[in-house]
Amino acid sequence: MKIDSPLGPFQEIKKPGEQPAAARPAVPEPEAKPEKPEKTGDVVQLSDRARLVARATELAQAAPEIRQDKVDSLKARLSAGTYNVSGQVVAEALIRKSLTEV
């Protein structure tokens, strides 16, 4: 024998003495509060060395790529015939440069 319930096969199971779901007062869901970022009070302190490095970097970036005073001095010495450098020093410099670029 089959008994059909008005709720169909999904009947609410109640504990003895419990009110039906429709008669229970609705419990409001707690509202989600937006989280506020906390102030941590972090402080950044640079060492004297870091300040010196930063200053040196600024000065290097501000300097011209070509040091015209050096160029003019070498040109004047070449023209006057007073610029003398040994072939060995030039060769060593060329080899050293080519090895570091590889």
**pLDDT by residue (tens digit) across 17-73?**
666 655 555 666 666 666 766 777 788 888 999 999 999 999 989 888 888 999 999
Cβ-proximal residues to 21 (8 Å cutoff; 6+ apart), any chain: 12
Contact 11, 5 (CB under 8 A): yes
On whether residue 89 sits in a domain, the answer given is yes
On whether residue 99 sits in a domain, the answer given is yes
On whether residue 102 sits in a domain, the answer given is yes
On whether residue 35 sits in a domain, the answer given is no
Query: What's 8's DSSP letter?
Result: T
Say what the pTM is: 0.31
Which tokens hold the place of 63? 């300097």
Q: What is the pLDDT of residue 43?
A: 83
- Give residue 101's pLDDT band: very low, low, confident or very high (50, 70, 90): confident
Q: What is the pLDDT of residue 37?
A: 66
Query: What's the total number of domains in the chain?
Result: 1
On whether residue 90 sits in a domain, the answer given is yes
Q: Given CA atoms 70, 72, 75, 79 in this order, what sign does their dihedral have?
A: negative
CA distances from 81 to 74, 76, 77, 87, 90 (A): 10, 8, 6, 16, 17
Print the domain residue range for 85. 69-102
